[in-house]
Amino acid sequence: MMSIDDLIDGSIGNGQLTILLVATRDLRGQLTGRKSVLRTTVESLAELGHRVIVAHFGTGRDSDASGSPSECEQVRYVRIDGPRPWELMIQLGSGFLPGRKSLNECLYFSGRAKTALRDIARAEKVDVVVTDMVRTAVYGEFLGLPWISDLDDLLSLRYGLLAKGQRGLDGLLGYHKAPALRTLSWLVRPVLEIILRREAAILARREIAVAQQAGLTLAVSPTEAATLASASSRSIFTTPLSVKGPAWIAPFEDRRRDLVFLGAFSYQPNRDAVHKFDNRILGELGSCGLENVCLHVVGEKGIGYEFSPNIRFEGYVEDLDDELQKYKAMLVPELLQGGIKTKVVHAALNQVVVLAHDTAITGMGLEPDVNVLTWKSSEDLAVLLKRVQGNDASLPVIAENARLWAEANFGQQRAEAKWRTYLASVMGKPAEASLGPETIPGRERAQTGHNGLSQVAEALGR
């Protein structure tokens, strides 16, 4: 039986592949959760010796990467154009309304992008295409090359939850900031629930179709990977993520600030979560004897609600590790369900105790009272905050356990091993097999409902 290395090395004489990553945004600049995942992809592929061309929508310049010397030599960024306003209107009329395309796909489907990507694939002799989310999956279908679809979160689940909450469109349709899109969001607010439910249904169909067409499909959350595997009868694997920890960690007892929230306010669910904390939870904490609790928010402020003086904005910081080590605890409130939350990994690596709503860490493999503290109600949170303010002796132990969890599951070597295996799978075209139990960080396991291990799963030791 051929080894993983043999499969890759046999595809090209020197073992180097040219990989085209179609991204919804420029991966350089200010870091976000999704950018962390995509940067892991680029860095892992470059470290494995492959060339990477990142074709991204939005603003940005065409240039080499601004990273390590090895990455700069092997990574190139190219900006591609999204749809013109008239193209977007046609897509909405011929794609979304008949139910053939989701709104998310319409916003990124462009004739200019198709032409540019086809030309890149031919000129650069691209071997493998990696697409970013369901939003760019159409380009993997179009190019006809070995294709890995990284779906990130299952947007169908996210939009189903949003339909129940009737939240706004801001921040939900990608990272477009065009005036036409902002105008459109105001026009559709009266029928928002209907649109969100329709979008969720279309996305569910498209996610299944992508899983059945792509050479290999990834999701960030092991739980969501299992959900899609069951729906599509295909093997779904987890997206590799690595987070580099700090070189030095400040002693827990020397930290002077109690509570931090990490997240950009350009993403509406972050704004909603902090707004709820400010307007409701703070008052309930006061009823439990906790007065003047301050929540420091690290990340781009954005636009939106007005906040009380108890919410203190620190803005975007270049050195996140240094900033996080000023705090004892991180608040992770009830957010939209999704995949691995990079903010939790960053907190763990800096020995910041995570105070997470029990729904916010589903599928991450964290163990309550071992490496994370969880809460359901404001009363529960008050008990935890009193422990933080009183420097409870158990907190440094919980913080250290969380650091060990993060280092074991989100190291660079683990990410590179996964990508090596995934590339071997799509280049070697192994026979399709069912996905066995997916190993989730920690003690939890998600069952897919299928029996047997695929070649990818065997190589990853699952």
Q: Sheet harboring 353-357: ordered strands across? A: 311-315, 295-298, 257-262, 327-332, 353-357, 373-375
Backbone angles phi, psi at 81, to 5 degrees: -95, 140
pLDDT at 190: 62
CB 451 within 8 Å of CB 427: no
User: DSSP assignment of 417-454, as one string?
Assistant: HHHHHHHHHHHH-PPP----PEEPSSS-EE--S--S--
CB 95 within 8 Å of CB 106: yes
Q: Say how far apart CA 438 and CA 458 lie, in whole Å.
A: 11
| Eight-state DSSP code of residue 254 | G
Nearest by Cα to 135 from 58, 76, 215, 52: 58
Nearest by Cα to 375 from 327, 333, 344: 333
Q: Which SS3 state, helix, strand or coil, does residue 259 take?
A: strand
Backbone angles phi, psi at 380, to 5 degrees: -60, -45
Q: Which CATH architecture has domain 252-409?
A: 3-Layer(aba) Sandwich (3.40)
* Domain 4-242+412-459 belongs in CATH node 2.40.50.320: no
CA atoms within 13 A on the CB side of 259: 23
Distances from the Cα of 406 to the Cα of 66, 157, 321, 342, 358, angstroms: 26, 26, 14, 10, 18
Rg of the chain on CA atoms, in Å: 22
Q: How far apart are the first and last CA of the chain?
A: 18
Q: Is the dihedral of CA 162, 165, 171, 173 positive or negative?
A: positive
Residue 191 tokens, joined: 């029928």
Q: Which SS3 state, helix, strand or coil, does residue 252 take?
A: helix
Residue located via tokens 């919804």 = 24
Q: Say how far apart CA 165 and CA 337 lie, in whole Å.
A: 13
pLDDT at 185: 56
Residue 15 tokens, joined: 């073992």
Fill in the amino acid letter for 156: S
CA dihedral 96→102→105→107, nearest 10 degrees, is 60
pLDDT per residue as tens, the chain (462 positions): 344 444 444 444 347 899 999 999 898 877 777 888 888 899 999 999 999 999 999 866 666 555 544 456 799 999 999 999 999 899 889 989 899 999 999 999 999 999 999 999 999 999 999 999 999 999 999 999 999 999 988 999 888 877 776 444 544 554 444 444 455 555 555 677 788 889 999 999 999 999 999 999 999 888 889 999 999 999 999 988 888 889 999 999 999 999 999 988 877 778 888 999 999 999 999 999 998 899 999 988 766 678 999 999 999 898 999 999 999 999 998 865 555 578 899 999 999 999 999 888 877 888 999 999 999 999 999 999 999 999 999 999 999 999 999 988 888 888 899 999 999 999 984 433 333 334 433 333 333 333 333 333 333 333
User: DSSP assignment of 386-404, as one string?
Assistant: HHHHTT-TTHHHHHHHHHH
The pairing of strands 75-79 and 63-64 is: antiparallel
CB 372 within 8 Å of CB 398: yes
CB burial of residue 306 (10 Å; 0-12, 13-18, 19+): exposed
CB burial of residue 170 (10 Å; 0-12, 13-18, 19+): middle
Q: Which SS3 state, helix, strand or coil, does residue 356 take?
A: strand
CB 222 within 8 Å of CB 438: yes
Distances from the Cα of 17 to the Cα of 13, 74, 127, 357, 424, angstroms: 10, 11, 6, 43, 11
Fill in the amino acid letter for 269: P
Q: Say how far apart CA 386 and CA 394 lie, in whole Å.
A: 13
CA atoms within 13 A on the CB side of 354: 33
Could you give the residue range(s) of every CATH 3.40.50.2000 domain in the chain?
Answer: 4-242+412-459, 252-409
Distances from the Cα of 274 to the Cα of 9, 58, 310, 343, 411, angstroms: 50, 28, 11, 15, 30
Distance of CA 179 to the CA centre of its chain: 26
CA dihedral 344→200→83→182, nearest 10 degrees, is -70
Q: Say how far apart CA 333 and CA 353 lie, in whole Å.
A: 14
- CB neighbours (10 Å) of residue 457? 21
Distances from the Cα of 265 to the Cα of 87, 270, 305, 313, angstroms: 29, 6, 10, 11
pLDDT at 337: 54
What predicted TM-score, i.e. pTM, was given to this entire model?
0.74
Q: Which SS3 state, helix, strand or coil, does residue 16 take?
A: coil
